[in-house]
Amino acid sequence: MQGWVQSPGLPGSDREAGSVSRQRHSQADNLGLGSGPGSRDDEHRPMTLKLKPIDGQVLVITGASSGIGLVTATIATHLGAQVVLAARNARDLARAVHEIRRSGGRAVYQVADVSDSDQVAEIADTAIREFGRIDTWVNSAAVAM
């Protein structure tokens, strides 16, 4: 369970492995916190997440004019996602969007420097204006200070 510490015990000590975890569980049980999400009852239950399929997502990808950002955008559109590419280089962004559209993908771009919060807001505005929402935001842009 996340947040609980397991004690490995020390040679020659009377502490056994897991004693801290059991002590905390016991304290939680005494406070009436022993059931529900995150309780001892959940300790061995597998966690399940329901993720939205990639072909139903709108992704914003920064640093998308080259490298990992561009590859991420290209693969995502091949899998059916709609993407907003963002980076500082307008020419490379336009070329990337052209290639994605030529291969049947849906993409737009927004020139932006992610170190400027107003420009980051413009990226979000573009996504909402063009696709109605943002499902996933991928930060792949490098920022130098």
Residue 97 lies in a domain: yes
Q: What is the per-residue pLDDT across 22-56, written as a single tens digit (0 to 9) for each? A: 444 455 455 555 555 555 555 677 888 888 999 99
Residue 144 lies in a domain: no
What range defines the domain where residue 95 resides? 54-139
| Contacts (Cβ under 8 Å, ≥6 apart) of 13 | none
Residue 67 lies in a domain: yes
| Contacts (Cβ under 8 Å, ≥6 apart) of 24 | 4, 5
What pLDDT shows up at residue 45?
A: 76
What is the C-alpha separation between 82 and 54, in angstroms, rounded? 9
- 73 with 134, same domain: the answer is yes
DSSP state of 6: P
Q: What is the per-residue pLDDT across 124-145, written as a single tens digit (0 to 9) for each? A: 999 999 999 999 999 999 866 6
Radius of gyration of the chain (CA): 23
What pLDDT shows up at residue 127?
A: 98
What pLDDT shows up at residue 142?
A: 83
What burial class does residue 64 get, using C-beta atoms within 10 Å of its C-beta: 0-12 exposed, 13-18 middle, 19+ buried? buried
What pLDDT shows up at residue 128?
A: 98
- 63 with 107, same domain: the answer is yes
- 10 with 80, same domain: the answer is no
Residue 123 lies in a domain: yes
CA-based torsion, 91, 97, 101, 104: positive or negative: positive
Total domain count for the chain?
A: 2
The three-state (H, E, C) secondary structure of 43-81, written as one string: CCCCCCCCCCCHHHCEEEEECCCCHHHHHHHHHHHHCCC
Residue 125: CATH number of its domain = 3.40.50.720
What pLDDT shows up at residue 36?
A: 55
Q: What do you get for the CA distance between the two ends of the chain, in Å?
A: 38
What burial class does residue 135 get, using C-beta atoms within 10 Å of its C-beta: 0-12 exposed, 13-18 middle, 19+ buried? middle
- 2 with 35, same domain: the answer is yes
Write down the pTM of the prediction.
0.67
- 67 with 97, same domain: the answer is yes
